[in-house]
A = this chain, B = another copy of it.
Amino acid sequence: MTITPPALSVFESLESEVRSYCRGWPAVFDRAQGSRIHDEDGHSYLDFFSGAGALNYGHNNPVLKRALLDYLERDGITHGLDMSTTAKRAFLTTFQEVVLRPRDLDYKVMFPGPTGTNAVEAALKLARKAKGREAIVSFTNAFHGMSLGSLAVTGNAFKRAGAGIPLVHGTPMPFDHYLDGRVPDFLWFERLLEDQGSGLNQPAAVIVETIQGEGGINVARAEWLRGLAELCKRRDMLLIVDDIQMGCGRTGPFFSFEEAGIVPDIVTLSKSISGYGLPMSLTLFKPELDLWEPGEHNGTFRGNNPAFVTATAALDTYWADGQMEKQTLARGEQIEAALRDIVREHPRSGVEFRGRGLVWGLEFTDKQRAAAVCARAFELGMLLETSGPESEVVKLLPALTISPDELDEGLRTLARAVRETA
Contacts and interface: CB of A to CB of B under 8 A. Distances in A.
Contacts of A117: 113, 118, 147, 299
Contact of A16 (B108, B149, B152, B178): B108
A276 B146 CA distance: 26
Given A10-B92, A28-B86, A292-B18, A165 B166 contact: yes
Interface residues of A, number: 156
Interface string A29-54: 11111000100100000000101111
Contact of A277 (B78, B196, B271): B78
A76 B108 contact: no
A3 interface: no
Contacts of A29: 77, 83-86
A293 interface: yes
Interface string A105-135: 0001111011111100110110111000011
Contacts of A180: 184, 187
A72 B65 contact: yes
Contacts of A53: 300
A69 interface: yes
Interface stretch (A169-177, A323-331, A414-422): A169-177
Contacts of A83: 21-22, 25, 29
Interface stretch (A137-145, A312-320, A335-343): A137-145
A110 B15 contact: yes
A8 B111 CA distance: 17
Given A30-B77, A179-B191, A188-B179, A296 B18 contact: yes
A264 interface: no
B299 A146 contact: yes
A128 B168 contact: no
Contact of A85 (B28, B116, B285): B28
A164 interface: yes
A391 to B, nearest CB: 10
A164 B15 contact: no
How many copies altogether? 4
A408 interface: no
A197 B389 contact: yes
A75 interface: yes
A81 interface: yes
A331 to B, nearest CB: 20
Contacts of A184: 180
A139 to B, nearest CB: 8
A279 interface: yes
Contacts of A108: 14-17
A330 B418 CA distance: 65
Interface in A382-418: 388-390
Interface in A255-291: 270-271, 276-279, 283, 285, 290-291
Contact of A158 (B125, B293, B306, B389): B293
Contact of A297 (B37, B76, B146, B171): B146
A174 B197 CA distance: 11
Contacts of A32: 75-78
Nearest to A200: B172
A65 B32 CA distance: 20
Nearest 8 pairs of A and B residues by beta carbon: A128-B164, A197-B389, A79-B277, A20-B295, A51-B79, A147-B147, A172-B199, A18-B292
